[in-house]
Structure 1
Amino acid sequence: MDDLTALARRHLNQAKDDPHGRSAHLFVHSGPLRQSVIALLAGTTLQEHNAPPASSLQVLHGHVRLTSAAGEQQDLIAGQVQELPPERHSLLAVEDSAVLLTAVTATTGCPTPSE
């Protein structure tokens, strides 16, 4: 079992030693399911990138700003979780932050909630 608080703390410390101000760790990799802790120092951006077919972002520590390719912005703080639409987006750490990214990398063969 992984301790999210400890993972967030560890990766925030590692981000402080990283020249790019970030650290990440994939800790669940089961079929199409992926869960990663990503730590970003204040002002650090994950440049615009593609989103998987299904994903969510939960802020474990800090404050982040999610920006869609269309320029729509949403601020999230510790304790909040947001479903990510399957479109390009970027992420900015407004303050030192750690997030939990949960992603499903393929939807083929996945049951729908009604099945």
Structure 2
Amino acid sequence: MADETSTSGTAPSGPAGPVDLRALADEHLTKARNAAHERSAHLVLRSGPLRQSVIALLRGAALGEHESPVAASLQVLRGQVRVTAESGTELTLSQGHLGPVPAERHDLVAITDAVVVLTTVTNVS
């Protein structure tokens, strides 16, 4: 397979082969259980404007209100999370669900111990 270069002119960064999301979920839940802030995150893939991260949060842990990237989605590997948009719109996602991240300020709260894959597209200029 030829070496690919992203539109930004930088080589993709991340694993050379497949990623075992189950193993990453286990690893980061363990790290979250040992972290004062009850969460753990790992950037799995970066390619041009594309980013994919695994985020583990213990029940009740949150990523406080923050800006939304150009485009984003959440895939829940374990547990259940709630995304609340600044407008008050809520989206609850459970294991196996894939959903959009609101295109406005929002927060993310773990309803149960949870692990998600956050996929974002940033600055596509």
Q: TM-score surpassing 0.5?
A: yes
Does 2:116 align with 1:96? no
Does 2:61 align with 1:44? yes
Structure 1: unaligned runs, 5 residues or longer: 109-115
Structure 2: unaligned runs, 5 residues or longer: 1-17
Give the superposed CA RMSD: 0.8
Aligned length: 108
Identify, as 1 or 2, the structure richer in strand: 1
Distance 1:89 1:74 in 2: 11
Query: Where does structure 1 differ by over 6 angstroms across 4 or more consecutive aligned residues?
Result: none
SS of match in other structure, 1:85: coil
TM norm structure 1: 0.91
Residue identity (%): 52
Greater RCO (Cα-Cα under 8 Å, separation 6 or more) = 1
Distance 1:74 1:55 in 2: 14
Higher-Rg member (1/2): 2
Does 2:104 align with 1:87? yes
AA aligned to 1:91 is L
TM norm structure 2: 0.84
Cα deviations by residue, 1:37-69 (Å, 9 ceiling, x for unpaired):
000000101100011001100000000011001
SS of match in other structure, 2:119: strand
